[in-house]
Amino acid sequence: MMKNLFFLTAVVALTAVFAGCNKSMDTPDPNYFDAGVTINGVTWATRNVASPGMFAAKPEDAGLFYQWNRKIGWSTTGTVVGWPTTGDSGLGWIAENDPCPSGWRVPTISEIYDLASVSSMWTTSNGINGRKIGSGSKAIFLPAPGYRGLTGSLLDVGTEGDYWSSGYNSSSQALTYRVASHGVGGTNKVVGASIRCVKK
């Protein structure tokens, strides 16, 4: 009787373990997984980068701000301490500094220019200002969380949002997609801006 009880207990425990494994395999962690939306042949994530290697919970969430070619995320609210005031002098965003989750990367210059050529509209999603780019099921929403200026101060919340590309404009500037104008411009590498990843 005791042997049968022990065997039954062991079977129940193993079943629970395997069930848990199957559940985690069938339901990817949304912090790391994003199906993405393909626009003009490029698959864009539907959410900003939060902590390095993780997506924000929702498309409207700001995530974190990043300086160009650096993997340290900064808050999109309040004040920050220890803000670096010199930018990276590199000529490209190197792979080891890319904060995008596995399988994703910071977009190239040509990819943000292409995004800026797609039809869009300034709108509000769940109370958050931003820009919807594309149409129907082939659309993404980019929030306008503002950005951090040269000294780390928070600027233009709700009216602007800069999104880094991996390409540089000069030794002190790199190119960003700008939500307010639906265009591309040079931004000082010290600025803290958002990241919207593309599929590798």
pTM (2 d.p.): 0.86
- Reported as a pLDDT band with limits 50, 70 and 90, residue 183 is very high
Collapsed DSSP state (helix, strand, coil) of residue 197: coil
Between CA 119 and CA 39 the distance in angstroms is 11
Between CA 22 and CA 18 the distance in angstroms is 6
User: Over the stretch 69-83, which tens digit does the pLDDT of each residue have?
Assistant: 999 999 999 999 999
Q: Are 179 and 83 in contact (CB under 8 A)?
A: no
Other CB atoms within 10 A of residue 169 CB: 17
Residue 173 identity (one-letter amino acid): Q
Domain range summary for the chain, segments of one domain joined by +: 1-30, 34-199
- pLDDT value for 31: 86
Q: Are 98 and 87 in contact (CB under 8 A)?
A: no
